[in-house]
Amino acid sequence: MLDFTRECNFARGALQQRSAGESMENAELITGYIEHINAGLARVLAFMGMDATAVRAEGPYVYDDRGRKFLDFLGGYGVFNFGHAHPRIVAEVKAELERMPLSCKLLIDEPAIRAAKHLAKVLPGDISKFFFTNSGTESVEGAIKLARLHAGRPNLIYAHRSFHGKTLGSLSASGRDQHREPFEPLLAHFIQVPFGDAAALKLVVDENTSAVLLEPVQGEGGINVPPDGYLREVREITSAHDALLILDEVQTGMGRTGYNFACEREGVVPDMIVLAKALGGGVMPVGAIGGTPEVWAQFEEKPLIHSSTFGGGPMACAAVDAALTVLVEDKLAERAGRIGETFLADLKKLREKYPQIVTDVRGRGLMIGLQFASSDIAELAIGAILAKELLVAFTLNAPEVVRLEPPLNMPEELFPEAISRLDAALAETAALVEQYA
Ligand code: PLP
């Protein structure tokens, strides 16, 4: 149980230790976080040296009130594929802000049509119908409902270590016990299978399955890349039983893995796709559920069976349209694939240099994970890396894995710079680990 007073005192103590040269204004902001947002989280931030306020962000950089200039290799957990405050995306959103910031709900919003048409053009196959949401978890919730509505079947199959969000429906399909247990019982008829194992999936998909919900590459599960051919086999298994395949591309989408959408690598077209994070170009919070006309048929018969007040708003949809334009025109997926290959190779060299602490390096495109020997070592390494003003973080379902998800338009010369900062931080971590071993 969280001891609130103890957490506050700890966080205040950390604050006082470094507040000698700091303004009252900064100290008050952090105290405000402790007292009114979350004292437990303040403690974590203090431990990492991140109990400071963000002042501004531009392109690949984030600036704080301690005068630090962070090079962003975290990318907001997959939000900033286009960097921070991309001028073209900001301009489109600003235009909507001045024209009509939110939908009046009873007239058609042109930006929503524009965004949907653009998505239909960029997405593979016949995914041509869209429902806009405000986040990843909302997109997953909606997809689970639409799958049940379409199929009239109860079961939903998901993978071990998956992450689909933290509202009750998507949490029921997320594969980490620690996040699930306090909220049980979760939704019934959700069946977990190992990730990347088509044979295990084949054993559970049957006439009671509404859908199989998967990430093409698991993000929060620790950047897990399935064996080649896995997605194609999953597609065959689901089609054979008339079950839907829902791909969660909230994190893998929008160019991240070297393809506009990760499913393109194996030529797989899902029945539904869920998107969020970078969909709003790093400027607006927006998500989407995409589906085929067949999947949408029931929804179109009962169009009010699922709805959202804010979903599909003009500013959010203008951001989607602009983000897709930048993605395609700047060939960012191709760039992520090319640069990601060199970056991954350089990171593998660091693994060879520090085998006592880094046990694996893996990923696809610019979605890369560094696996440490333990979550404690990962925590030490994160502290050292952040101290070098390089933003990184661990993955939610695998705290021993540090993820690297830089903007896809990160200037190329900043990759060797990141490697040299990582090298220095890993050297310090390895020395510390050796000292306390
Ligand atoms: N799906 C995936 C694959 C994710 O990585 C995440 C968030 O990390 C979500 C869904 C949930 O998104 P949100 O935090 O916007 O609800």
pLDDT at 27: 78
The reported pTM is 0.95
Centroid of ligand 1 to alpha carbon of 10 (angstroms): 30
**Statement to judge: residues 210 and 316 lie in one domain:** yes
pLDDT (0 to 100) of residue 389: 98
Distance from the CA of 330 to the center of ligand 1, in angstroms? 25
Q: Is residue 5 part of a domain?
A: no
- How far is the centre of ligand 1, averaged over its atoms, from the C-alpha of 250 (Å)? 6
Stretch 248-256: mean pLDDT: 98
Is 40 contained in some domain?
A: no
CB of 276 closer than 6 A to ligand 1?
yes
Q: Separation of 92 CA from ligand 1 center, angstroms?
A: 25
Q: Is 428 exposed, middle or buried (0-12, 13-18, 19+ CB in 10 A)?
A: middle
Last residue of a domain, one of 305, 329, 353: 329
Rounded to whole angstroms, the Cα distance separating 319 from 61 reads 21
> Whose structure tokens read 């597609």?
235
Looking at the structure, tell me whether residues 180 and 128 fall in a common domain. yes
Please check whether residues 69 and 110 belong to one and the same domain.
Answer: no
**Rounded Cα distance, 418 and 424, in Å:** 10
User: Are the C-beta atoms of 173 and 140 separated by less than 8 Å?
Assistant: yes
Ligand 1 binding pocket includes 135 (Cβ within 6 Å) = yes
Q: Which atom of ligand 1 is nearest to the CA of 218?
A: 3
One domain for residues 240 and 223: yes
Residues 236 and 325 in one domain: yes
In a domain, 263, yes or no: yes
Q: Which residue has the tokens 């060797």?
A: 416
Q: What is the CATH number of the domain that holds 303?
A: 3.40.640.10
| End position of a domain, from candidates 329, 344, 377 | 329
Same domain membership, residue 64 and residue 187: no
Ligand 1 within 6 A of CB of 136: yes
What residue's CA is closest to ligand 1, atom 12? 136
Average pLDDT, the chain: 94
248 lines ligand 1 (CB under 6 A): yes
- What is the number of structural domains in the chain? 2
- pLDDT, tens only, 40-94: 999 889 889 999 999 999 999 999 999 999 999 999 999 999 999 999 999 999 9
176 C-alpha to ligand 1 centroid (Å): 14
- Are 371 and 409 contained in the same domain? yes
CA-to-CA separations, 191 to 75, 205, 249, 355, in angstroms, rounded: 32, 10, 20, 37
Ligand 1 atom with minimal separation from the 140 CA: 10
In which element (H, E) is residue 21 found? Answer: none
- The answer to whether residues 383 and 401 belong to one domain is yes
Cβ of residue 163 lying under 6 Å from some atom of ligand 1: yes
Same domain, 140 and 70: no
98 vs 116: CA distance, rounded Å: 22
SS3 316: helix
CA–CA gap between residue 32 and residue 236 (Å, rounded): 53
Q: Which residue puts its alpha carbon closest to atom 15 of ligand 1?
A: 136
> Residue 176: what pLDDT?
86
Is residue 76 situated within a structural domain? yes
- Is the domain of 363 the same as that of 239? no
Whether residue 3 is predicted with pLDDT greater than 60 in this model: the reply is: no
Residue 25 is predicted with a pLDDT of 72
Assess whether 100 and 198 both reside in one domain.
Answer: yes
DSSP 3-state assignment of 22? coil
280 in ligand 1 pocket by Cβ < 6 Å? no
Last residue of a domain, one of 263, 298, 329: 329
394 neighbors 372 (Cβ within 8 angstroms): no
Quickly tell me which residue has 């103890």 as its tokens. 6
Question: Which band of pLDDT confidence, cut at 50, 70 and 90, is reported for residue 29?
Answer: confident
pLDDT in tens, 271-295: 999 999 999 999 999 999 999 999 9
Tell me if 45 is assigned to some domain: no
Does some domain include residue 107?
yes
d(CA 133, CA 292): 17
For residue 398, being part of any structural domain is answered with yes
**CATH, residue 392:** 3.90.1150.10
Which residue range(s) make up the domain with 397? 53-83+332-435
For residue 155, is it within any domain?
A: yes
Same-domain check for residues 355 and 374: yes
List C-alpha distances in Å: 49 to 11, 277, 388. 11, 26, 11
